[in-house]
């Protein structure tokens, strides 16, 4: 029986100039949709899980089209809410070599940012779910989104559903009067699995000293939040916009585990690779031991770098092959 994942967060319209055109050159935009949490849900759905995403879209043809994108990529959209007029957006100009990709966000006043706790009945949403996942982007968007997220986490926790949070957040996103240091720890308190970085632990929770190793910091975090079972990070070495290396690390309270470094040269689209890692981790922890789960997550992350768009549409078989060490990408027929 396939496991079921629930995710919650904003889904944005993503508009990008074709190929490597810059904004100054474009006469059309490629159109997909994405958001850190829905990306995780879709990735898990492609791996064979059931997944439903909770979000809020404008009640017009663009909100419907965004919903249709989620449906196309196998999500249940029965808990999508509609209201207000604007869909969050981001514009992506794809970089290469020394030229960075550029992202311009337009999410202020979006239908999702105006969500209120009363709009979601989490007990109903989470019924028969096995896992709930959130990210540090959601509580940064608005007070309403933050409250909804906390409700979801608490409800899941009470219902015995595993909760994971990819808690990385950009401080320049927090514009509604709260800081991430004020909000994120309350959300983390009820989590089972936390994806973060050394810096993240240091800055968000004031634990340890800058420069402390992940292992040390992870231990300290679990000391403070004993509900956490695993703390996971993904290390990325950025050789150029076209060439990265990634590695997974995990502290489960007992052992410090890390994967081999995966070399990703000739990147197609690096957006959403962190979400692919999170999805791989969720699938992995549901189906494997910790080391294999981390290998699976890293493989999923690496493969996302080859898929255009925000979402990881690779198959379970693809991830398993890479996880088992076949890096050859040899033609299947």
- Give the DSSP letter of residue 328: S
Angle at which helices 143-158 and 180-188 pack, to 10 degrees? Answer: 20
Choose, by CB under 8 A, the member of 2, 48, 82, 100 that binds its own copies: 100
Of 66 and 153, CB closest to its own copies: 66
As a whole number of angstroms, the distance between CA 102 and CA 96 comes to: 11
User: Where does this chain touch its own copies (CB under 8 A) — which range of 106-114, 122-130, 202-210, 275-283?
Assistant: 106-114
Choose, by CB under 8 A, the member of 79, 81, 83, 96 that binds its own copies: 96
Does position 48 interact with its own copies (CB under 8 A)? The reply is no
As a whole number of angstroms, the distance between CA 242 and CA 240 comes to: 5
As a whole number of angstroms, the distance between CA 98 and CA 20 comes to: 13
User: Where does this chain touch its own copies (CB under 8 A) — which range of 121-129, 175-183, 189-197, 298-306?
Assistant: 298-306
User: Where does this chain touch its own copies (CB under 8 A) — which range of 63-71, 114-122, 252-260, 282-290?
Assistant: 63-71
Does position 316 interact with its own copies (CB under 8 A)? The reply is no
SS3 state of residue 241: coil
Instruction: Tell me the CA distances in angstroms from 186 to 12, 136, 243, one per residue in order.
Output: 26, 12, 37
Of 94 and 233, CB closest to its own copies: 94
Does position 235 interact with its own copies (CB under 8 A)? The reply is no
Does position 2 interact with its own copies (CB under 8 A)? The reply is no
Does position 93 interact with its own copies (CB under 8 A)? The reply is yes
Q: Which of positions 169-198 make contact with its own copies (CB under 8 A)?
A: 170
**Cα of 91 vs its chain's centroid, Å:** 18
Does position 111 interact with its own copies (CB under 8 A)? The reply is no
Can you spell out the DSSP letters for 251-315?
Answer: E-SS-EEEPPPEEEES-S--TTHHHHHHHHHHHHHHHS-HHHHHHHHHHHHHHHTTSSSSS----
User: Where does this chain touch its own copies (CB under 8 A) — which range of 67-75, 154-162, 177-185, 215-223?
Assistant: 67-75
Does position 104 interact with its own copies (CB under 8 A)? The reply is yes
Q: How far is the CB of 62 from its own copies (least distance, A)?
A: 6
Given phi > 0 = left and psi -120 to 50 = alpha, else beta, which region is 67? alpha
Q: How far is the CB of 74 from its own copies (least distance, A)?
A: 7
Does position 322 interact with its own copies (CB under 8 A)? The reply is yes
């Amino acid at each position: 029986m396939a496991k079921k994942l629930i995710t919650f967060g904003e889904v944005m319209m993503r508009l990008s100039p074709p190929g490597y055109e810059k904004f100054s050159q474009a006469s059309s935009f490629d159109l997909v949709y994405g958001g850190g949490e829905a990306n995780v849900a879709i990735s898990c759905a492609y791996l064979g899980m059931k997944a439903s995403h909770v979000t809020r879209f404008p009640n017009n043809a663009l909100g419907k089209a965004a919903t249709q994108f989620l449906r196309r990529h196998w999500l249940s959209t029965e808990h999508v809410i509609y209201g207000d007029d604007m869909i969050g957006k981001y514009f992506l100009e794809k970089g290469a070599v020394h030229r960075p990709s550029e992202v311009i966000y337009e999410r202020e006043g979006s239908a999702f940012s105006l969500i209120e706790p009363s709009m979601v009945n989490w007990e109903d949403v989470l019924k028969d779910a096995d896992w709930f996942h959130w990210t540090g982007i959601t509580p940064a968007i608005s007070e309403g989104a933050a409250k909804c997220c906390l409700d979801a986490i608490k409800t899941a926790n009470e219902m015995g559903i595993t909760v994971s949070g990819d808690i990385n957040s950009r401080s320049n996103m927090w514009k509604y009067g709260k800081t991430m240091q004020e909000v994120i720890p309350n959300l983390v308190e009820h989590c089972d699995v936390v994806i973060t970085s050394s810096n993240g632990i240091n800055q968000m929770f004031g634990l340890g000293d800058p420069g402390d190793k992940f292992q040390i910091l992870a231990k300290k975090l679990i000391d403070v939040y004993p509900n956490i079972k695993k703390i996971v990070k993904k290390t990325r070495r950025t050789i150029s916009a076209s060439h990265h290396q990634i590695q997974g690390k995990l502290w489960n309270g007992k052992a410090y585990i890390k994967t081999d470094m995966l070399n990703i040269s000739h990147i197609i689209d690096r957006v959403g690779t962190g979400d692919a890692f999170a999805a791989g981790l969720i699938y992995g922890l549901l189906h494997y031991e910790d080391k294999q789960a981390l290998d699976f997550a890293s493989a999923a992350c690496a493969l996302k770098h080859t898929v255009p768009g925000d979402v990881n549409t690779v198959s379970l078989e693809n991830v398993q092959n890479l996880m088992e060490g076949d890096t050859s990408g040899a033609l299947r027929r």
